[in-house]
Amino acid sequence: MGYFGHLYLVEVNDHGSAINVTTSVLGADIYNGTAYFCWGAGDRPEGLLPYGEGTVFSDQALQLLPGYPLVESYGQAESRVLLEATFNPKHSDDPVLFHFLLPDRFVPRRNEDPLAQPSPPFVCRSKNRLTATYPVVGPAEIRFWIVRMDAEDSLDNYDLAQVLHPAEKRATKVELEFNFGIFKLKLA
């Protein structure tokens, strides 16, 4: 929760015949410059305005920036989609809230390139949908793949606290073993 100048909203919907990615950039009151935002699970008090199908809320009616919304469509055979978001606010220290609403039964892939994010996001679950929210100061680029879950898979099988944290890269260890019949020599 906090105060931000812009909401960069990416809503991904699976319509059966196509996967649509709708990107909207909304700005706060031009005189005030910032609006209060909150996201995550739970009930909200009256007076807050919903965005992103009720997954992020603001205390102000936000204005759509010129050139938005941008709608991209992918064929129904697509079982994976690369989500990309880039935004440069007017001032380099302006706070921006990036909010991704994924379609039913799609999950992010933290081990596929490209994976670019300014920090690990807040990830929340709403029924069979996930949201990923990145509070950012200044310009940012975010890229990650989402994939359709297998029919027998469930969101219950995912650790939401780690779902978009980069996978740990372990140092490779080379071992060489010589077996001379009586003794072994192992070099690592």
Number of other residues whose CB lies within 10 A of the CB of residue 145: 18
Assign residue 180 a region (left: φ > 0; alpha: ψ between -120 and 50; beta: otherwise): alpha
What is the model's pLDDT at position 159? Answer: 80
Q: How many structural domains compose the chain? A: 1
What is the model's pLDDT at position 187? Answer: 60
What is the model's pLDDT at position 23? Answer: 95
Strand partners, 70: 23
Q: Which domain holds residue 85?
A: 2-187
Taking the chain (188 residues) in runs of 10, the rounded mean pLDDT of each run is: 92 86 87 83 85 92 92 79 91 93 90 87 88 94 91 83 64 56 62
What is the model's pLDDT at position 52? Answer: 93
Is there a contact between 134 and 98 (Cβ–Cβ < 8 Å)?
yes
For residues 116 and 105, what is the distance between their CA atoms, to the nearest angstrom?
22
pTM of this structure: 0.83
